[in-house]
């Protein structure tokens, strides 16, 4: 049976291809974790759904995957709603026709966890907050304040990461490395925010090794933050590494990687 079909100019990874790609990524993450002296379950894979079709996202969740990431608010809203509906239908049907999954595939989770990983405009905070577990992309104090305001209204504490522009590329969002500790101190005065760590992106490159100095500098900064007065036991997330460079990121200390194309394929769905 063909597992790759072309619709227009789009290449779609069918369930079998998707499963293989996913397993490969999870295997490579595990190996990189072990190479860096950690256990495979100490590195979390956020599957970035930017290039995924709704079917692919459902298939991945059916394989037991829990953590999903989006960089755009509209897509996040639509996808979170569609997955929630899918899971609630599954919950309704469960008991009727459950078949045991054979390892290494887990059962579909009760709930998924969404991660906001892209630039967030302050006027979209209200929409995003109820849907997400972690915002990776806090890149200004004003955005942090806005998230704090809405979190306070909902009487919850929102987990956030400071996005750092370690590479200094003008095109990248994020605050400059020397400003991180000061921003962390200010965030820590806001009771409805919990600073969990930092996120960073390396410039796109053919060679993953090009990203290593950026990741290593980000890891140093993370260490500096953790051991400063702005740190603390909750500040334990280093989110870095994407499809082209996640192994290097893990070797340099990342404990969350955000992987899109290596799981779902290259194409951007037309929505
Ligand atoms: C798109 C995106 C990713 C995933 O990128 P891939 O190269 O598809 O793995 C990760 N992080 C952020 C912030 C992104 O925007």
Distance separating alpha carbons of residues 170 and 123, to the nearest angstrom: 23
Q: Which residues contact 244 (CB under 8 A, 6 or more apart)?
A: 204, 205, 208, 211
CA distance 126 to 130: 8
CA of 64 to the centre of ligand 1 (A): 21
Return the residue whose CA atom lies nearest to atom 6 of ligand 1.
260
Q: Is 50 in the pocket of ligand 1 (CB under 6 A)?
A: yes
* β pairing state of 113-116 and 132-138: parallel
Does the CB atom of residue 243 touch ligand 1 within 6 A? yes
CB 70 within 8 A of CB 264: no
pLDDT recorded at residue 54 = 93
Ligand 1 centroid–CA 40 distance in Å is 21
Per-residue confidence (pLDDT) for residue 220, from 0 to 100 = 98
Provide, rounded to the nearest whole percent, the portion of the chain with pLDDT above 90. Answer: 80
Q: Which domains does the chain have, with CATH numbers?
A: 4-92+110-264 (3.20.20.10)
Ligand 1 near 200 CB (within 6 A):
no
Interval between CA 99 and ligand 1 midpoint (Å): 34
The stretches of the chain forming alpha helices (DSSP H) are: 15-35, 54-62, 73-93, 125-128, 141-153, 180-187, 212-227, 246-251, 261-264
- pLDDT exceeds 70 at position 238: yes
List Cβ<8 Å contacts ≥24 apart for 75-82. Answer: 75/49, 75/50, 75/271, 76/114, 76/116, 76/128, 76/131, 76/132, 77/127, 77/128, 77/131, 78/271, 79/49, 79/54, 80/114, 80/131, 82/54, 82/57
241 — pLDDT class (breaks 50, 70, 90)? very high
In this prediction, residue 270 has a pLDDT band, given cuts at 50, 70 and 90, of low
| Res 11: pLDDT | 55
* pLDDT over threshold 50, residue 39: yes
| Rounded average pLDDT over 91-111 | 63
Q: Return the SS3 of 13.
A: strand
Looking at the predicted structure, is the pLDDT value of residue 1 above 50?
no
Q: What is the pLDDT of residues 61-88, one digit of tens each?
A: 999 999 999 999 999 999 999 999 999 9
Tokens of 159: 């987990």
pLDDT at 2: 42
> Does residue 91 contact residue 110 with C-beta atoms inside 8 Å?
yes
Other CB atoms within a 10 A radius of the CB of residue 6 amount to 9
Question: Does ligand 1 have an atom closer than 6 angstroms to the CB of 48?
Answer: yes
Separation CA 50–CA 260 (nearest Å):
7
- Residue from 21, 29, 48 whose mutation best tests the ligand 1 pocket (most atoms within 8 A of CB): 48
The pLDDT value given to residue 109: 80
CA of 225 to the centre of ligand 1 (A): 24
Mean pLDDT, residues 156-184:
94
Helix axes 141-153, 180-187, angle to 10 degrees: 20
- The model carries a pTM of 0.91
Does ligand 1 have an atom closer than 6 angstroms to the CB of 241? no
Closest CA to 61 of 84, 42, 77: 84
């Amino acid at each position: 049976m063909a597992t790759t079909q072309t619709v227009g100019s789009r290449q779609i990874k069918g369930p079998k291809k998707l499963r293989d790609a996913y397993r490969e990524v999870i295997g490579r993450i595990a190996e990189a974790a072990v190479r860096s002296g950690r256990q495979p379950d100490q590195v979390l894979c956020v599957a970035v759904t930017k290039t995924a079709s709704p079917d692919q996202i459902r298939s991945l969740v059916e394989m037991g995957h829990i953590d999903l990431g989006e960089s755009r608010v509209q897509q996040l809203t639509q996808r979170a709603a569609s997955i929630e509906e899918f899971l609630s239908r599954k919950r309704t049907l469960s008991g009727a026709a459950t078949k045991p999954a054979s390892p290494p595939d887990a059962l579909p989770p009760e709930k998924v966890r969404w991660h906001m990983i892209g630039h967030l405009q302050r006027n979209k905070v209200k929409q995003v907050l109820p849907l997400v577990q972690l915002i990776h992309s806090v890149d200004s104090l004003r955005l942090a304040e806005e998230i704090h305001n809405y979190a306070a209204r909902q009487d919850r504490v929102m987990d956030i990461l400071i996005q750092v522009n370690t590479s200094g590329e003008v095109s990248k969002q994020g605050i400059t490395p020397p400003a991180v500790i000061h921003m962390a101190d200010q965030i820590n005065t806001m009771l409805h925010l919990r600073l969990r760590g930092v996120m960073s992106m390396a410039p796109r490159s053919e060679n993953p090794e090009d990203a290593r100095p950026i990741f290593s500098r980000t890891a140093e900064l993370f260490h500096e933050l953790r051991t400063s007065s702005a740190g603390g036991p909750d500040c334990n997330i280093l989110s870095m590494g994407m499809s082209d460079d996640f192994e290097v990121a893990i070797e340099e200390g990342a404990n969350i990687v955000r992987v899109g194309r290596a799981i779902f394929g290259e194409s951007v769905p037309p929505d």
